[in-house]
Amino acid sequence: MTPPELLTPAEVAALFRVDPKTVTRWAKLQKLSSIRTMGGHRRYRAAEVYELLNSEHLPTLQFALETLVDDHYGGDPARALIDLADRYGLAVTFLHRAWFTRFAQRDLTDIEWKRISAELGKFSDTLYQTCADQLLDYATTVLRSAGIAIQTTTVSRLPPLPALPTSPEAGPPAAT
C-alpha cells in the first residue's frame, strides 16, 4: 500500500488561491482534514484537496468573505468594515456577537446567534423609524460641525435606508 500524496499548506493555498493561513484555519474549523508531521507541520491529503476543489462545497459568499477578512485584515471584521466605510463613505455601527454576549452576561449558542442575526435587519428598520427625529438632529449637527450649511429640514426628507440583502448567504447587514 502506497502512502497518500500529501500537500503543504502553501500548495493547497495556491490551488484555492488563498493565503496559507486560510488553509490552516480551514483545518482548525474541520473543513479540511490535516495530518501532522513529526515536526508538527500540517499536511493535507491530495485526494481530499482535489475532491474539495472539484466539489460543489467550494466556499459560499460568507466563506469567501471570511477568507478575505482573514487574508487581508488579520481576521478582524471590524477593521474590514471600517476600511470599506472609509473607502465608500459609510457610517458604521457594530452590534456583533461579543456585544450581545456581554449584554446577555453569558455565552450565546450558535443557534441563538443565528436567531439574533436574523433580527438585526428588522431592528435597523425599526430603529430608523422610531429614532428619525434624533437621526435628523444628529445628521444636522454633524453637517454643521463639518462646516456644511443646510436648511432646516423635516423627518419626511430623510433619505430611505439602503435595501437589505435578500440572499440567505449574505446574512443581515453589519454596517449602516
Q: Which position has the higher pLDDT, 153 or 164?
A: 153
Task: Locate all alpha helices (DSSP H) within the chain, ordered by sequence.
Answer: 9-16, 20-28, 46-54, 61-73, 77-88, 97-104, 110-130, 132-145
Can you say whether residue 13 is alpha, beta or left, with left for phi > 0 and alpha for psi between -120 and 50 degrees?
alpha
Indicate if the pLDDT at residue 39 is higher than 90: yes
Helix/strand/coil for 3: coil
Separation CA 162–CA 142 (nearest Å): 20
Separation CA 129–CA 125 (nearest Å): 6
Average pLDDT, the chain: 75
Confidence of residue 166 (pLDDT cuts 50, 70, 90): very low
pTM of the model: 0.40
Among 1-5, 12-16, 122-126, 151-155, the range with the most confident prediction by mean pLDDT is 12-16
Instruction: Indicate the domain borders of the chain.
Output: 6-59, 92-157
**Which of 56-60, 114-118, 142-146 is the least confident region?**
56-60
Indicate if the pLDDT at residue 132 is higher than 90: no
Q: Which position has the higher pLDDT, 2 or 104?
A: 104
- Whether domain 6-59 has CATH 3.50.50.60: the reply is no
Q: Which position has the higher pLDDT, 173 or 125?
A: 125
Confidence of residue 7 (pLDDT cuts 50, 70, 90): very high
What digits encode the pLDDT tens for the residues 64-115?
Answer: 677 778 778 887 777 787 787 777 766 666 667 787 888 888 888 888 888 8
